[in-house]
Chains A and B, each alone.
Chain A
Amino acid sequence: MPIKFENVSYTYLPNTVFKTEALKDVNCEIKEGSFTAIIGHTGSGKSTLVQHINALLLPTSGTVFVEDYKIFPNSKLKQIKKLRSKVGLVFQFPEYQLFEETCYKDIAFGPKNFGKTSEEIDVLVKDAAKLVGIDEELLSRSPFELSGGQRRRVAIAGILAMKPSVLILDEPTAGLDPRGAREMMDLFSRLNKQGITVILVTHDMDYVLRYSELVIVMSEGMLKAYDTPLNIFKNTKLCKELNLELPTVFSFANKLIEKGLDIDLGKVKDVKTLADEIALNKGGKQS
């Protein structure tokens, strides 16, 4: 399901004293099955951008294409409701959206709204719970009894149960412990390998380097760059201009290159690949 933005602009509260231009003439295309990261500072328009993909926001001008759906300023809700089951959007701190008496019912909320039968729902709920690592015995408990991390998983399962073909994640690991965060990211990476298009909004450059194929850089509502993580982080001018932090392993590799090691930055993704590169230099074994 390719996603295409064509001259998309969005203004909050137009025609009032409080109006703000959140998006300015954005053009880009996100390929089906890709893993795309969206980075940029707070208020740069990242969240506004992704909320156009499932028509939570309608552009003030321009058009968004998602598969056969066309989202334009006067789109009618009826025509796009189905789109929302195909584009799953996980908001920041999604655990705050839980409301049902049991986790099971909460995960079932999405599929139920899209008219699935109770047999189908049962399968979808159990599959989704398994994917995020929630035990079946927890499903009959109230989500308010669970720990923060577990509640986050339940909330994400609620989105996955809709079987979306595009998954949008807004800072999905914020506030999780390191291990929980890694498990979460590995889950998204696995889902991506199964063919789901993943769009990740994040401030964590390590994740960007490690997981994403392409990066969209937003600044002041404009699309500043759309390239591979390697090209983005190698572009010192851009990173300086937008105050982008480099991924830890990337700046470490940079320092090693300065000290004379011959390291292929294109191969450095995480600690393991960086170690491989160093080992190669020193004549050691590659794992």
Chain B
Amino acid sequence: MKPKSFFNKLLEKIAEGILAISGSITTLAVLLIVIFLFKEGVGLFNQSSVDENSIIAVNKQNPINKLKPSDVKKIFDQELTNWKQLGGNDEEIVVVRFTDISTYYSDEKLGANLEHLPACFSNLTDSLKGAIVYMPAKYALKDFKGKKIHVDKVSLLDFFAGREWFPTAEPSAQLGILPLILGTLWVSLGAILLSLPLGIAVAIYMAEIASPRFRSFIKPIIELLSGIPSVVFGFFGLIVIVPMIQKTFGLPVGETGLAGSIILAIMALPTIITISEDALRTTPRAMKEASLALGATRWQTIYRIVIPYSISGLTAAAILGIGRAVGETMAVLMVTGNAAIMPKTLLEPVRTIPATIAAELGESSQGGLHYKALFTLGCILFIITLAINLTVEYISTKRMNNK
């Protein structure tokens, strides 16, 4: 008997150990997600916005040594035309891209196998006082007569407050995520404004007004609605809602923030309804009866007693609804038009953070600036949802302590 009971005890302990390990898996997963997202994303702020394999050079006599990424873009877009505007000499800026070299030198001079290319770059930079040359780093040999320009690293401020998202811009990628943040906020806010009143109304109807029969009819419908995959919502939005918006508002394109908001509103409904209904149901029956016994109608009881009583739960529902909207990817990607511009109204195309990641990660090269920027966007999403979850957690524990 004894050895068997020892064996049994061992078995119990082993089982408990296995269970404990499984129990910690979610914690492990969250930690891993944090590590891997930040590992990939954090390098962004240590890197120049110019591709590693290229350089930007100017004439030796040019007093300018450093440029901001945004200035580089303006120069190459010819929005800045004189070095004076950047604090340099009064000299016209001459932009020379790699391919422009053939307008200065004939094919013979460049050599049959482009063997004279480095020398040509060198001479050109030396001869044009206002030159700014964007060229592969490998052609800048030791006797290169130009001066390499140092382009600033991507700064936090540029990243968060930059108004231009153009990660594939040459020579300097523009990584301002303000339009993406605003796009996400606009679309989510629009969604919550549409779905919150509707969702809470349905929750009130289900919790307080509807007969049990109607409730058992609507409950599975809400469940099914939450089960429909987001691509299907996106597809539906693309084919039905987008043309509808285009026609109603007479727009050139129907793929707008509003289309995203409408689809997201439908998608957030099940979350909002379920959580709100649970919250409303926590109102003690005694309190409702007391109100009715004082001659209040059911409706007066709902808005004077039930809603104030469950307000923290309703808040949690709203916050979680926003959380769902902020993180939703596919449906938004399909209907918002994805223009990375600063949104002014909901009736123009916008681009959200998740949609940006989904659309661009495939075409970015692993470890490159663009790739890192997208992972940083992922980190931002992660932090937003973490904040939302912690807020909801805080609200619900506070509510439990109060009662």
Binding between chains A and B: no
